[in-house]
Amino acid sequence: MILRLKNQTLGKINLTRSYLSSLVFRRDSHSHDRRRRGYERDVGIEEKKEHDGLFLCKSKGQHLLTNTRILDAIVRSSDVRPTDTVLEIGPGTGNLTMKLLEAAQNVVAVELDKRMVEILRKRVSDHGFADKLTIIQKDVLKTEFPPFDLVVANIPYNISSPLVAKLVYGSNTFRSATLLLQKEFSRRLLANPGDSDFNRLAVNVKLVADVKFVMDVSKREFVPPPKVDSSVVMITPKEIIPDVNVQEWLAFTRTCFGKKNKTLGSMFRQKKKVMELLSLSAGRNGSKVGVMNQTCGDSDSDVEEDGDGKDDLLCLDTDANMFKERVIGILRSNGFEEKRPSKLSHSELLHLLSLFNHAGIFFHDIRSSPMDLHE
């Protein structure tokens, strides 16, 4: 009796073990199948990328926008006319290009990557648009643009600032530029005086153009997805721009917005800044440092200089002190001493620059020529 019960119990245990083992086997088999199917799917994607030449380099900003609805919205918002020539920068494989070719008379696409050029050329030819597209295979920052009416582009993030500078301060005239940019960069571009994001980039671009927000675009809409979201903005050149020397303005804003939340008075009291402006201003006025101070003696005299240079140092220090007092005097007498650059409007900044220049105080070294909008 006891033996029979023991055998029955062992039989049930073995049956349970077999059942559990079969469950584990089935689970492992399903997991293996899923992993295998996932691997095969991934391999298929990689093969497709290799076949289509779509190995994209994130460091070069190669992120392709694939959402057709968003592409259509960008073209609509840019107001492309049937008679327009559109400049596209970084067309990639042509997702946006195809939309533009349908709406415009011509498209000029600037693309550096030879692989992308080949894919784009074939794609456009297959759709019968070859005669409407001109491809320039060069670095966009080193390329002279042919005439165009509009710019519509998903531009690489790493060249956003110099490219915007080239467009708004360049020689080409155009109606507007609709650009897909990094969201943070767009917010800085859209900022106004008093905003926490207001910066040198915004003040320089908005001197010559108006900037309007169009829409945000999630990073999930790109292949491969970038690390951050994007925004579309429209930049429209102003019909009338201030009469100001561009290089002097850019150098002036570089000085003011280096510490945009400091008061102008404290900024221009710094010895390093005073000496820098003194040297620039003296050079622009056709003098050497030291001549501005009459107590240093007649520059045309035949008196020999002291070999140890102490008189030169005294002269330089005296000049610097006098120069600083002149700068602070301009700020104080015109109500700018306690103001901060981040709070000033364009008209206030232009007025201050004019006051400085009329007093013989300059910010631009005429020997240099780089045009940067922000550091």
User: Is 197 annotated among the ligand-binding residues?
Assistant: no
User: Is 65 annotated among the ligand-binding residues?
Assistant: yes
Structure tokens at 141: 């920052």
By 3-state DSSP, what share of the chain in percent is helix, strand and coil, each rounded to 5? 55, 15, 35
User: Are the C-beta atoms of residues 179 and 233 closer than 8 Å to each other?
Assistant: yes
Q: Is 360 left (phi over 0), alpha (psi -120 to 50) or beta?
A: left
User: Is 3 annotated among the ligand-binding residues?
Assistant: no
SS3 assignment, position 363: coil
User: Is 325 annotated among the ligand-binding residues?
Assistant: no
Measured distance CA(98)–CA(118) in Å, rounded = 15
Spell out the residues 6+ positions from residue 345 whose beta carbon is closer than 8 angstroms to its own: 193
User: Is 139 annotated among the ligand-binding residues?
Assistant: yes
Measured distance CA(102)–CA(242) in Å, rounded = 38
Q: Is 324 left (phi over 0), alpha (psi -120 to 50) or beta?
A: alpha
Q: How far apart are the first and last CA of the chain?
A: 94
Binding-site residue numbers for S-adenosyl-L-methionine are: 63, 65, 90, 111, 139, 154
Binding-site residue numbers are: 63, 65, 90, 111, 139, 154
